Structure 1
Amino acid sequence: MSSYEENESKFLRKAKESPFVPVGMAGFFAIVAYRLYKMRSQSNTKMSIQLIHMRVAAQGFVVGSITVGVLYSMYKEYVAKSIEEKK
């Protein structure tokens, strides 16, 4: 068997290691759901333009979430460790 507990799924284990990935996924699905709902009321613009805007917004949220996660892990690894070592 693998190194993690049998009761714990791989997704939950990865979510504990890097919590910004599930945030990015949730934001992605929320943006897509909102834009699809909003698409019904906007009949004056082309669907291809609406889909491009939806894709750009969802990708931007995911990239932003991953960037914040990387910055947070770098802070924990370098800044927080050096502060603890000085004490």
Structure 2
Amino acid sequence: MSNGKEIFFADEEAAGSKLKRKAKESPFMIAGLGGLVVALGIAAYKFRHRGSMPTSVFLMQTRVAAQGTVVSALTIGVAYHMFNKWILHDGEDE
């Protein structure tokens, strides 16, 4: 029952080649990871200028912002895929 996708085992694939394969399969996941890195970078920069805000509140807000960027990117990716498949009929019927 082959559906045209290769099967990889964890010990056979290096991290770099796995990231390249995932980028081809799901580019919105890579966009989400990029958004995560940007959100965390901004939070690290703003950490010193948070004023009287407690650290726990700042870290909670940072977590929500980082999760929001990843979930937003993946949601946009799913919507894009559904639009192509169901509205434009660009995919093969499975």
TM-score of the pair, normalised by structure 1: 0.79
- 1:48 match: 56
The number of equivalent residue pairs is: 78
Q: How much identity, in percent, do the aligned residues show?
A: 40
Deviations 1:13-42 (A, max 9, x none): 211121110000010111011111101112
Amino acid at match of 1:40: R
State the alpha-carbon separation in 2 of the partners of residues 44 and 28 from structure 1.
Answer: 25
Runs of 4+ in structure 1 off by over 3 angstroms are none
Higher RCO, 1 vs 2 (CA within 8 Å, ≥6 residues apart): 1
* Unpaired segments ≥5 residues, structure 2: 1-5, 8-12
RMSD of aligned Cα (Å):
1.9
